């Protein structure tokens, strides 16, 4: 069973690519990942997924939400699955924004998104040290896409297929970190 968190452009493209029969896609209105209660409901309802792909993301005027949805929720879910899953591959979609968090002229709303994605990418590095040190049966892959075509980037950037291909590669090769800039 593959769980896709987020029903947006990338989540839908992944579901199409991986096959509806193998995937469950979770998001609004049933799950609001700005709340711990709904993260806990995912853990209760899907305690042993083979693969969980977190595609949720938001750039809004609400800095609290940007930090929670882009960093706190995925980090919380990852740690919870690490603690309880037998054999699980977690794929967190971060962003190439993690490489340039505070560029000149940046507004603080966008900064809170970049900072959250930077935190998610660094989180992946730290968690993978724990995975290796403690020989955990969990694999965590963090993917940092550059701009790709979706409402989030005004339909500009690289084709979404590049990101779908990166996720496909991650499922097969289980790398710890992938940046897909172009």
Ligand X SMILES: NC(=O)c1ccc[n+]([C@@H]2O[C@H](COP(=O)([O-])OP(=O)(O)OC[C@H]3O[C@@H](n4cnc5c(N)ncnc54)[C@H](OP(=O)(O)O)[C@@H]3O)[C@@H](O)[C@H]2O)c1
**Binding-site ranges for ligand X (CB under 6 A):** 6-11, 27-28, 31-34, 55-58, 69, 93, 95, 145, 147-148, 150-153, 157
Q: Least Å distance between CB 172 and ligand X? A: 20
Q: Least Å distance between CB 46 and ligand X? A: 15
Tokens of 115: 């900072």
Nearer to ligand X, 70 or 139 (CB): 70
Q: Least Å distance between CB 95 and ligand X? A: 4
**Nearest residue relative to ligand X (C-beta):** 8
Distance CA 98, CA 71 (A): 12
Q: Least Å distance between CB 91 and ligand X? A: 11
Nearer to ligand X, 56 or 91 (CB): 56
Q: Least Å distance between CB 36 and ligand X? A: 12
Nearer to ligand X, 2 or 56 (CB): 56
Distance CA 118, CA 120 (A): 5
Distance CA 163, CA 55 (A): 11
Q: What separation in angstroms does the CA of 20 have from each of 12, 13, 14, 97?
A: 10, 11, 9, 30
For helices 36-45 and 73-84, the axis angle rounded to 10 degrees is 30
Nearer to ligand X, 33 or 81 (CB): 33
- Residue 147: name the closest of 131, 158, 134, 162 by CA: 158
Nearer to ligand X, 91 or 138 (CB): 91
Distance CA 26, CA 78 (A): 16
Distance CA 176, CA 118 (A): 15
């Amino acid at each position: 069973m593959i769980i896709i968190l987020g029903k947006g452009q990338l989540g839908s493209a992944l579901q199409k690519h991986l096959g509806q029969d193998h995937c469950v896609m979770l998001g609004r209105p049933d799950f609001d990942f700005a709340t711990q209660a709904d993260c806990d409901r995912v853990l209760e309802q899907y305690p042993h997924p083979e693969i969980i792909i977190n595609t949720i993301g938001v750039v809004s005027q609400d800095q609290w939400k940007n930090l929670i949805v882009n960093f706190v929720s995925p980090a919380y879910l990852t740690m919870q699955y690490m603690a309880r899953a037998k054999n699980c591959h977690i794929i967190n979609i971060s962003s190439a924004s993690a490489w340039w968090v505070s560029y000149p002229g940046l507004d603080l709303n966008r900064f809170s998104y970049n900072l959250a994605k930077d935190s998610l990418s660094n989180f992946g590095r730290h968690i993978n040290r724990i995975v290796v040190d403690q020989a955990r049966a969990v694999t965590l892959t963090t993917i940092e896409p550059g701009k790709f075509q979706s409402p989030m980037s005004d339909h500009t950037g690289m084709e979404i297929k590049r990101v779908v291909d990166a996720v496909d590669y991650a499922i097969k090769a289980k790398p710890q970190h992938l940046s897909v800039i172009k």
